[in-house]
Chains A and B, each alone.
Chain A
Amino acid sequence: MTTPVIDARDLCIDYQLGKTWVNAVNGVSLTIGANETHGLVGESGSGKSTLALALMRYLAANARIESGEVRFNGDNLLAKTDDDMRQIWGKQMSLVPQDPLASLNPSYSIGEQIAEITRLHEGLSRRDAAQRAVEMLARVRIADPAAVARQYPHQLSGGMQQRVTIAMALSTQPRLLVLDEPTTALDVTTEAVILDLFRDLIRDNRAAALYVSHNLGVIAQMCDRVTVLYAGEVMESGPVDDIYLRPVHPYTISLLASIPRPLPGIETRLPTIPGVAPSLAERPRACVFSPRCPVALPLCFTEKPPLEEIAPGRLVKCHRWQEIAGGELQVETSPERKSDKTASVGTRYIVSLQNGESASYVLDARDLSKHYGTQSLFGRLTGAPSKIVQAVDDVSVRVRTRSTLGLVGESGSGKTTLARCIVGLETADAGEILLLDVALPHALRDRARGFLRELQMVFQNPNDTLNPYQTVEQALTRTIHRLSTEPMTRQQLQARVLDLLAAVRLTPDYAGRYPAELSGGEKQRVAIARAFAANPALVVADEPTSALDVSVQAVILNLLKDLRAREGASYLVISHDLAAIAYLADWIAVMYLGQLVEEGTVEQVYNPPSHPYTEALLSSIPAPDPRVKRGRIRLDGHVPSPADIPRGCRFHTRCPRKLGAICEQQDPPWQDAGDGHRIRCHIPLDELTALQASVPEQE
Chain B
Amino acid sequence: MTDTPLTAPRPRSSPLHTAGTILRRLAARPLALLGTLIVALFLLLALIGPAIAPYDFDAIIRGAARQPPSVEHPFGTDRLGRDVFSRVLWGAREIIGIPGLATTLAVFLGTCLGLFIGYIGGWVDELISRALDSLLAIPALLLALVMLGTIGPSPLGIVIVIVLLYVPIVTRVIRSATLNVRASGYIEAARLRGESAAYILFREILPSVLPALAVEAALRFSYAIFLTASLGFLGLGVQPPSPDWGRMVNEARDGYARTPWALWFPAGAIAALVIGVNLMADGLRRVFRYEG
B15 in contact with A514 (CB, 8 Å): yes
User: Is B208 an interface residue, CB under 8 A from the partner?
Assistant: yes
Q: How far is the CB of B202 from chain A (nearest CB, A)?
A: 12
- Please give, as numbers and ranges, the residues of chain A lying within 8 Å of B10 by CB-CB distance: 513, 517
Convert B174-204 into 0s and 1s, putting 1 for each residue whose CB lies closer than 8 angstroms to a CB of A: 0000000100111011011111000000001
**A516 part of interface (Cβ distance < 8 Å):** yes
- A residues in contact with B1, CB < 8 Å: 285
Q: How far is the CA of A376 from the CA of B126 in the complex (A)?
A: 9
Q: A residues within 8 A CB of B204?
A: 467
Chain B residues with a Cβ closer than 8 Å to the other chain, count: 28
Contact pick for B192, options A20, A452, A460, CB 8 Å: A452
Interchain CB contact under 8 A, B208 and A469: yes
Mask of A375-414 contacts with B, CB within 8 angstroms, 1/0: 0110010000000000000000000000000000000000
CA distance in complex: A449, B191 (Å) = 11
Chain B nearest CB from A458 CB (Å) reads 9
Asked if A457 contacts B192 (CB within 8 A), the reply is yes
- B7 interface residue (CB < 8 Å to A): yes
* CB atoms of B207 and A469 under 8 A apart: yes
| Residues on the B chain within 8 Å of A380, using CB | 123
Do the beta carbons of A282 and B194 come within 8 Å of each other? no
Min CB distance, B175 to chain A, in Å? 16
Size category, A interface: 35 or more
Of the candidates A17, A281, A469, the one having the most CB atoms from chain B within 10 angstroms of its own CB is: A469
CB of B28 closer than 8 Å to a CB of A: no
Choose from B5, B193, B207 the contact partner of A452 (Cβ within 8 Å): B193
Interface centre among A466, A467, A513 (most CB of B within 10 A): A467
In the complex, chain B residues whose CB is within 8 Å of the CB of A447: 194
The distance in angstroms between the C-alpha atoms of A377 and B123, with both chains bound, is 6
User: A285 CA to B195 CA in the complex, in Å?
Assistant: 49
- Do A281 and B207 have beta carbons less than 8 Å apart? no
Q: If the complex has contacts A20-B6, A281-B5, A282-B7, are A469 and B185 also in contact, measured as CB distance less than 8 A?
A: no
Taking A377-B123, A425-B191, A452-B192 as contacts, is the C-beta distance between A527 and B7 under 8 angstroms? no
Q: Which residue of A lies closest to B126 (CB)?
A: A377
Contacts of B193 in A (CB 8 A): 452, 478-479, 482-483
Provide the residues of chain A in CB contact with B185, threshold 8 Å: 459-461, 464-466, 527
Across-interface contacts of B15 in A (CB, < 8 A): 468-469, 514, 516
B191 near A444 (CB under 8 angstroms)? yes
Q: B289 within 8 Å of A by Cβ?
A: no
Closest to A453 in B: B193
CB pair B189–A479 under 8 Å, yes or no, is yes
* CB pair B184 A464 closer than 8 Å: yes
Question: Known interface pairs A282-B7, A513-B12, A517-B10. Does A457 touch B188 (Cβ–Cβ under 8 Å)?
Answer: yes
Is A265 an interface residue when CB atoms closer than 8 A count as contact?
A: no
Residues of B with C-beta under 8 A to A17 = 6
Report the nearest A residue to B124, measured CB to CB: A377
Cross-chain pairs A/B with CB under 8 angstroms, 7 sampled: A20-B6, A279-B7, A377-B127, A452-B192, A464-B181, A465-B186, A469-B14
- 4 smallest CB-CB distances across A and B, nearest first, come from A459-B185, A465-B185, A281-B6, A464-B184
**9 more CB-based (< 8 A) A-B contacts, given A376-B126, A467-B208, A479-B193:** A285-B1, A380-B123, A444-B192, A459-B185, A464-B181, A465-B189, A467-B207, A479-B189, A482-B193
